[in-house]
């Protein structure tokens, strides 16, 4: 029998019941095939979800097939299916659950006066009788039975207490009190859970669950308030997808409990660094992207453009971020350079690209940066590189000429470079091919050693406007760097790509030496 004898008030473990595959899939345009559901279920398993609701078997053959596929493969999480309080539904659901390692039957019946009168056309007594009969029927076949009082937050509290009492007496192991239409407020739902748990016999022997919809934008807030009232299971979905305005967003409630653990003193088993990849998988499967400013998983969740914010972030991450992007699966914070960015952010990005500028050079670059911002919303790294290559800081090696010979068994290359101090540097080298010889000659001329990891060339444009573009990736002391170059001649483009990396490395070295000298002065 899957019950707990620990009183809720002493249980600091919040169970995550994910309904992405059932309630989430009911979002218009978000239906998934059984194969897609299996892919998503695997991701939810890796995410650490406690209970996965796979579907509503009585509604379609597709849901039954999905449940069978998932049950054959996933053995750790509890697998639940939804069922109405109807004998035929229960029998279909029990058949679908065969083979599951940890099966749960999730029964529901409406309890609010509006639903009783217009949807069910049942009296209070008939509702209580149906709850007792069908929960008992399910409990005779299965140890784990959840009962949901649909539209609980609009149900008379005395009657709701009777429903919960009957469901527990009939053998329900989890009691769900859903805010089906997203109507309640945090204060109301907190009080409802607290009062029912305090007054209903046997409440300390079952898990109370909350399932909140987002019609007023309060699904997460209401779910957290329900936890404060005694709920120890949260029913939610990835990206908050679901009927109408959706459900409580799993990623938001999980990270709130983590970031504000000192306040809630509650935790989940969610493997939070997998949140972003799981969110992005769902977006690809159902074709429903999240808005850029979506909490946790939106593209702007850890992006900063304001100069004030960027300056604070450069001083201390905690000034404007309450969690690390890596904690949820983003690679890092994004410093977006745009019209609101300040000099500190531009300088920091240039240093990351290997450019260390004095005050006059930085002033010139920033003026050009601001001018560019009037033409485009975001200034990328390539834009900054172009500014530097256009003469803002001509302190790198420049290719003056090169000669390539591929006659005989080995190729040879001779390069002449203009050094940062104005000298002319010429070197020759042999190689297994013209590019190998070219890179060896450039290395000899600059003194920069690096290991080529990848090298690609392709054509850009057509006809007389066609240009060759070279892209390469190199390894230097375990760190990876990338470079690019364009020219009508593909070999020259390759030389420019190699010098792109070499000049960046040399600038970084000079910058590090300058920083050390400043620190010891």
- CATH label of the domain that carries residue 166: 3.20.20.70
Per-residue pLDDT at 406: 84
Same domain flag for 209 and 340:
no
Q: How much is the pTM?
A: 0.71
Structural domains counted in the chain: 3
Q: Give the Cα separation of 105 and 138 in Å (integer).
A: 7
Same domain flag for 429 and 381:
no
Nearest CA-CA partner of 491 in 393, 411, 409, 391: 411
Same domain flag for 384 and 408:
no
Q: Looking at the domain assignment, is residue 85 inside a domain?
A: yes
Within 10 angstroms of residue 514's Cβ, the number of other Cβ atoms is 12
Per-residue pLDDT at 501: 87
Same domain flag for 314 and 207:
no
Nearest CA-CA partner of 379 in 315, 335, 320: 335
Three-class secondary structure of residue 394 per DSSP: coil
Q: Looking at the domain assignment, is residue 197 inside a domain?
A: yes
Same domain flag for 443 and 341:
no
Same domain flag for 21 and 154:
yes
**Domain end (from 372, 392, 412):** 392
Same domain flag for 485 and 361:
no
Dihedral-angle region of residue 187 (phi above 0 means left; psi in -120 to 50 means alpha; beta otherwise): alpha
Could you tell me the CA-to-CA distances from 239 to 251, 282, 290, 411 in Å, in that order? Answer: 7, 8, 7, 57
**pLDDT tens digits, 443-470:** 999 999 999 988 988 876 666 666 788 8
Residue 485 domain boundaries: 398-512
Q: Looking at the domain assignment, is residue 429 inside a domain?
A: yes
Which residues, in sequence order, are CB contacts of 334 under 8 Å at separation 6+? 302, 303, 304
Residues of the chain scoring pLDDT < 50: 1-10, 392-393
Per-residue pLDDT at 391: 53
Element (H, E) at 299: none
Same domain flag for 232 and 147:
yes
Same domain flag for 208 and 337:
no
**pLDDT tens digits, 36-80:** 999 999 999 999 999 999 999 999 999 999 999 999 999 999 999
Per-residue pLDDT at 515: 65
Q: Looking at the domain assignment, is residue 480 inside a domain?
A: yes
Which residues, in sequence order, are CB contacts of 151 under 8 Å at separation 6+? 110, 111, 112, 114, 115, 178, 180, 181
Which residues, in sequence order, are CB contacts of 379 under 8 Å at separation 6+? 337, 338, 341, 369, 372, 373
Per-residue pLDDT at 3: 32
- Three-class SS string for 127-172? HHHHHHHHHHHHHHHCCCEEEEEECHHHCCHHHHHHHHHHHHHHCC
Same domain flag for 324 and 406:
no
Per-residue pLDDT at 519: 65
**Domain end (from 338, 369, 392):** 392
Q: Give the Cα separation of 439 and 318 in Å (integer).
A: 44
Q: Looking at the domain assignment, is residue 46 inside a domain?
A: yes
Same domain flag for 82 and 227:
yes
Q: Which two three-digit tokens encode residue 96?
A: 């679908």
| Bridge partners (DSSP) listed for residue 480 | 475
Per-residue pLDDT at 27: 84
Nearest CA-CA partner of 20 in 183, 300, 203, 236: 236
Q: Give the Cα separation of 470 and 455 in Å (integer).
A: 7
**Domain end (from 366, 392, 418):** 392
Same domain flag for 333 and 380:
yes
Q: Looking at the domain assignment, is residue 143 inside a domain?
A: yes
Binding site for Mn(2+): residue ranges? 23, 211, 213, 247
**CATH (domain of 439):** 3.30.160.270
Which residues, in sequence order, are CB contacts of 89 under 8 Å at separation 6+? 57, 58, 83
Q: Looking at the domain assignment, is residue 295 inside a domain?
A: no
Per-residue pLDDT at 141: 97
Q: Give the Cα separation of 249 and 298 in Å (integer).
A: 12
């Amino acid at each position: 029998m899957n019950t707990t004898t620990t009183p809720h008030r002493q249980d600091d473990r919040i169970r995550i019941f994910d309904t992405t595959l059932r309630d989430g899939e009911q979002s218009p345009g978000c239906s998934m095939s059984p194969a897609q559901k299996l892919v998503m279920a695997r991701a939810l398993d890796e995410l650490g979800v406690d209970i996965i609701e796979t579907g509503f078997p009585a509604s379609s053959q597709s849901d039954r097939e999905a449940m069978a596929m998932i049950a054959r493969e996933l053995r750790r999480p509890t697998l639940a299916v939804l069922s109405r309080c109807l004998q035929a539904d229960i029998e279909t659901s029990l058949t679908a659950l065969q083979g599951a390692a940890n099966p749960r039957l999730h029964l529901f019946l409406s309890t609010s006066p509006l639903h009783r009168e217009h949807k069910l056309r049942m009296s209070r007594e008939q509702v209580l009788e149906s709850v007792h009969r069908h929960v008992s029927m399910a409990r005779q076949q299965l140890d784990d039975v959840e009962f949901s009082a649909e539209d609980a937050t609009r149900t008379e509290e005395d009657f709701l207490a009777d429903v919960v009492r009957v469901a527990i007496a009939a053998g329900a192991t989890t009691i769900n009190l859903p805010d089906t239409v997203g109507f309640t407020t945090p204060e109301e739902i907190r009080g409802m859970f607290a009062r029912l748990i305090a007054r209903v016999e046997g409440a300390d022997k079952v898990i109370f669950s909350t399932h909140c919809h987002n019609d007023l934008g309060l699904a997460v807030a209401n779910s957290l308030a329900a936890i404060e009232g005694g709920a120890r299971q949260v029913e939610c979905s990835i990206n908050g997808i679901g009927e109408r305005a959706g459900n409580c967003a799993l990623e938001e409630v999980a990270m709130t409990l983590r970031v504000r653990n000192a306040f809630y003193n509650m935790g989940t088993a969610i493997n939070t660094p997998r949140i972003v990849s799981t969110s992005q998988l769902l977006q690809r499967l159902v074709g429903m992207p999240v808005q850029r400013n979506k909490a946790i998983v939106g593209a702007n969740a850890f992006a900063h453009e304001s100069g004030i914010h960027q300056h604070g972030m450069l001083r201390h991450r905690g000034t404007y971020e309450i969690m690390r992007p890596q904690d949820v699966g983003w690679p890092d914070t994004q410093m977006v350079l745009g019209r609101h960015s300040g000099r500190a952010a531009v300088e920091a990005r240039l240093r990351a690209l290997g450019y260390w500028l004095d005050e006059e050079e930085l002033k010139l670059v920033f003026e050009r940066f601001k001018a560019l911002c009037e033409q485009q919303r975001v200034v990328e790294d390539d834009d900054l590189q172009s500014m530097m290559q256009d003469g803002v800081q001509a302190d790198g090696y420049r290719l003056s000429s090169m000669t390539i010979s591929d006659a005989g068994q080995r190729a040879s290359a001779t390069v002449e470079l203009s050094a940062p101090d104005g000298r002319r540097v010429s070197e020759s080298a042999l190689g297994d091919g013209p590019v190998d010889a070219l890179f060896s000659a450039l290395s000899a001329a600059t003194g920069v050693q690096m290991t080529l990891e990848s090298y690609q060339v392709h054509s850009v444009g057509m006809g007389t406007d066609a240009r060759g573009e070279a892209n390469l990736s190199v390894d230097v002391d375990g760190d990876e760097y990338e470079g690019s170059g364009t020219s009508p001649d593909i070999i020259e483009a390759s030389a420019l790509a190699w010098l792109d990396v070499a000049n960046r490395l040399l600038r970084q070295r000079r910058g590090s030496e300058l920083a050390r000298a400043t620190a010891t002065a």
